[in-house]
Amino acid sequence: TLKIGVLALQGAVAEHIRSLEQAGAEGVIVKRAQQLDEIDGLVIPGGESTTIGKLMRQYGFIDRIQAFSEAGKPIFGTCAGLIVLAKRIEGQEEPHLGLMDMTVTRNAFGRQRESFETDLPIKGIDEPVRAVFIRAPLIREIGADVEVLSVYNEEMVTAREGHLLVSSFHPELTDDYRLHEYFADMVRQSKTGEPKG
Ligand code: GLN
């Protein structure tokens, strides 16, 4: 079976584990950097990106996750996880992992729309996905190798760069687990050496 870890420093961990298991993978709660050696893919959950970033530095995750990515192993960042993966964060000097070629803006929806739900069409998934946005970030600019998988009000909210997948919203807070299935497929392909789709 596919072992997919969920970084468990802060944020929505249990919900991701449940969604991964519904998508047919084994969900692993990752609390120590050494556990990265035992998993085929990694989810970085929503929560608070500055807190997650700080704890990642404190517990030695930065270099290890960068090496994990370097080895071509898939990573899925949701909400705060998207921010943590970005190469550029608007208004901030330094990124956290700095892996995905995009500029992101935190809390981009403003106070009126702090949290909301919508049915979101996503490229590669047949019917719209139920998407929960909570103080969500937006993707402002992308590099040439980044593919946009969905937009909401003309803003980019789901994207992929090779083995990296990100969503502005929380796919783990509904029982619609198709985006986890999509990620599990990426992990399966990277493991069996099939060409990336
Ligand atoms: N606003 C949070 C941040 O900037 C992200 C919110 C979330 O993950 N739901 O880190």
Q: Does ligand 1 come within 6 angstroms of the Cβ of 90?
A: no
Residue 15 scores a pLDDT above 60:
yes
- The rounded Å distance from CA 143 to ligand 1 centre is 23
Give me the mean pLDDT over the 22-30 stretch. Answer: 98
**Closest ligand 1 atom number to CA of residue 133:** 9
Q: Does ligand 1 come within 6 angstroms of the Cβ of 45?
A: no
- Per the residue annotation, which of 15, 79, 96, 161 is the catalytic one? 79
Cα 32 to Cα 29: distance, rounded to the nearest angstrom:
9
Residue 48 scores a pLDDT above 60:
yes
Identify whether the C-beta of residue 186 lies closer than 8 Å to the C-beta of residue 74.
yes
Residue 194 scores a pLDDT above 80:
no
ipTM exceeds 0.90, yes or no? yes
Cα 131 to Cα 170: distance, rounded to the nearest angstrom:
6
Active site residue 194: no
**pLDDT score recorded for residue 197:** 45
Answer yes or no: is 134 a known binding residue: yes
pLDDT bin (cut points 50, 70, 90) of residue 195 is low
Answer yes or no: is 94 a known binding residue: no
Q: Does ligand 1 come within 6 angstroms of the Cβ of 165?
A: no
Q: Does ligand 1 come within 6 angstroms of the Cβ of 47?
A: yes
**Closest ligand 1 atom number to CA of residue 106:** 4
Query: 121-169, pLDDT tens digit by residue?
Result: 999 999 999 999 999 999 999 999 999 999 999 999 999 999 999 999 9
Q: Express as a percent the part of the chain with pLDDT over 70.
A: 97
Please provide the distance, in angstroms rounded to a whole number, between the alpha carbons at the two ends of the chain: 20
Q: Does ligand 1 come within 6 angstroms of the Cβ of 132?
A: no
Query: 61-120, pLDDT tens digit by residue?
Result: 999 999 999 999 999 999 999 999 999 999 999 999 999 999 999 999 887 678 999 999
Identify whether the C-beta of residue 6 lies closer than 8 Å to the C-beta of residue 43.
yes
**pLDDT score recorded for residue 158:** 98
Q: What domains are defined for the chain?
A: 3-192 (3.40.50.880)
Active site residue 163: no
